[in-house]
C-alpha cells in the first residue's frame, strides 16, 4: 500500500513538473520571435536658405525612403498578435541635437501599401523611454513563419522655436530604429538578438544668399554663361 502511494505521488509530481516545463516553454516562445533590418536608411544633407523662421515652419520633408526587413515568428500562446512594430528607444542623440537647435521632427512609417503610421515630435521624444511607446505599422503575421517585408520612411523637419540664423551647420547623429514582430508593452520583450534599422547621420545647413563669389583673372570680359553653387 505504501509503495502504491509513493508511486502515485511520484507520478503526480512528475506531471506537475512536466506541466510547468511545457507552460514555461510555450510562454517563452513569443520572445524568440525577432525582425532583422537589412541595409540602412540614408538621409542626405539638407541645405536651407538662412533667415527668419517661425514656429511650425517646415524646413524639409524627405519622402518615401525605402527599407526592408525579415521577421521570424515563433509559436504564440499569448493573445497579442504578431505585427511589424517600430520602437524609437534608441533615438535620444538625434532628439537632443534637434531640440538643442530649436527644431522638431515627425516620422511616417509605412509597410507596403498600408496606411502610414505617424510619430509626432512629442511621441518621438517619449520613444526612448522604453518599449511602451512603440507602434504597430505592419500587417498581421502568422506564427512560426518567416516574412520578407519592405517599408518606407518619411521624415518631416520643422521649426519648434523661432530663430534667425546666418550660416549654420547642425549635425544630426546616427541612430537606430528597432523593428519588432509584436508590441512588447503587455508581453515580454524579445530575447533573441536582432539587427535594428540604421539611420545615417546627416547635416542641416543654413546658407545665406551670396555665400560665395567667382573672381576671373585677367579681368577681360568673358561670357561663360551662369554659375551655380551646389552644396553636398
Span 107-150, pLDDT tens digits:
999 999 999 999 999 999 988 777 778 999 999 999 999 999 99
CA gap 72, 141 in Å, rounded: 9
- For 201-211, what is each residue's pLDDT tens digit? 999 998 887 66
Going along the chain from its start, the domains and CATH numbers come out as: 33-207 (2.60.40)
Instruction: Note whether 59 and 102 are within 8 A (CB).
Output: no
CA gap 179, 132 in Å, rounded: 14
Q: State the chain's mean pLDDT as an integer.
A: 83
CA gap 40, 65 in Å, rounded: 10
Q: How much is the pLDDT for 25?
A: 43
Average pLDDT, integer, range 14-19? 41
Q: How much is the pLDDT for 61?
A: 96
How many other β-carbons are positioned within 10 Å of the β-carbon of residue 220? 6
Q: What is the pTM (predicted TM-score) of this model?
A: 0.76
Amino acid at each position: 500500500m505504501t509503495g502504491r502511494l509513493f508511486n502515485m505521488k511520484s507520478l503526480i509530481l512528475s506531471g506537475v513538473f512536466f506541466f510547468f516545463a511545457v507552460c514555461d516553454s510555450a510562454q517563452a516562445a513569443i520572445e524568440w520571435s525577432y525582425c532583422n533590418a537589412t541595409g540602412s536608411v540614408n538621409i542626405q544633407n539638407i541645405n536651407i536658405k538662412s533667415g527668419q523662421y517661425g514656429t511650425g515652419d517646415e524646413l524639409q520633408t524627405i519622402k518615401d525612403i525605402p527599407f526592408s526587413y525579415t521577421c521570424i515568428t515563433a509559436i504564440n500562446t499569448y493573445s497579442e498578435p504578431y505585427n511589424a512594430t517600430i520602437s524609437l528607444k534608441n533615438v535620444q542623440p538625434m532628439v537632443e541635437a534637434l531640440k538643442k537647435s530649436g527644431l522638431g521632427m515627425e516620422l511616417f512609417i509605412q509597410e507596403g501599401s498600408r496606411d502610414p503610421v505617424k510619430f509626432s515630435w512629442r511621441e518621438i521624444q517619449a520613444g526612448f523611454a522604453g518599449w511602451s511607446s512603440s507602434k504597430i505599422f505592419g500587417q498581421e503575421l502568422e506564427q512560426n513563419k518567416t516574412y520578407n517585408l519592405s517599408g518606407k520612411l518619411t521624415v518631416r523637419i520643422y521649426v519648434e522655436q523661432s530663430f534667425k540664423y546666418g550660416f549654420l551647420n547642425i549635425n544630426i547623429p546616427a541612430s537606430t530604429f528597432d523593428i519588432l514582430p509584436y508590441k512588447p508593452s503587455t508581453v515580454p520583450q524579445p530575447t533573441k538578438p536582432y539587427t535594428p534599422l540604421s539611420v545615417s547621420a546627416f547635416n542641416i545647413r543654413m546658407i545665406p544668399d551670396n555665400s560665395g563669389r567667382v573672381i576671373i583673372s585677367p579681368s577681360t570680359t568673358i561670357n561663360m554663361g551662369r554659375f551655380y553653387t551646389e552644396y553636398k
